[in-house]
């Protein structure tokens, strides 16, 4: 297995064990590929749920630019709910898992078709 395949297995385990979600492996793979080389960097591969700057990056670069959503309080609430679902005390919140959950939340799976 490639390093990316190993990471996808790790992300799927987090979705199942920490979020209670059975992942669509095809969508999870596409979200992972969409993040490119950032998944291999320890800092960029995770999201700090308590850092406002980090959460703004998720909102602006993913929800608004990638998914094409309009800026609103709904986006902030969705990010907060996703962080809560993943577990605030969980130190390693993988960016792929956060983006996957947000893609499902906003029903934007078609972006990855």
Residue spans of the domains in the chain: they are: 3-112
pLDDT in tens, 3-59: 999 999 999 999 999 999 999 999 999 999 999 999 999 899 999 999 999 999 999
Tokens of 17: 């064990």
pLDDT tens readout for residues 47-105: 999 999 999 999 999 999 999 999 999 999 999 999 999 999 888 899 999 999 999 99
Q: What is the pTM of this model?
A: 0.95
Reading the block at residue 21, the tokens are 């979600």
Fold of 3-112: Recoverin; domain 1 (1.10.238)
| Cα 12 to chain centroid, rounded | 12
């Amino acid at each position: 297995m490639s390093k990316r395949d190993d990471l996808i297995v790790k992300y799927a385990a987090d979705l199942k064990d920490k979020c209670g979600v059975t992942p669509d492996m095809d969508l999870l793979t596409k979200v992972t590929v969409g993040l490119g080389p950032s998944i291999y960097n320890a800092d960029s591969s995770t999201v700090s749920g308590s850092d406002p700057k980090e959460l703004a990056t998720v909102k602006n670069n993913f929800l608004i630019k990638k998914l094409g959503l309009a800026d609103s309080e709904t986006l902030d609430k969705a990010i907060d709910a996703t962080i809560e679902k993943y577990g605030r005390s969980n130190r390693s919140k993988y960016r792929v898992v956060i983006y996957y959950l947000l893609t499902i939340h906003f029903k934007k799976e078609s972006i990855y078709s």
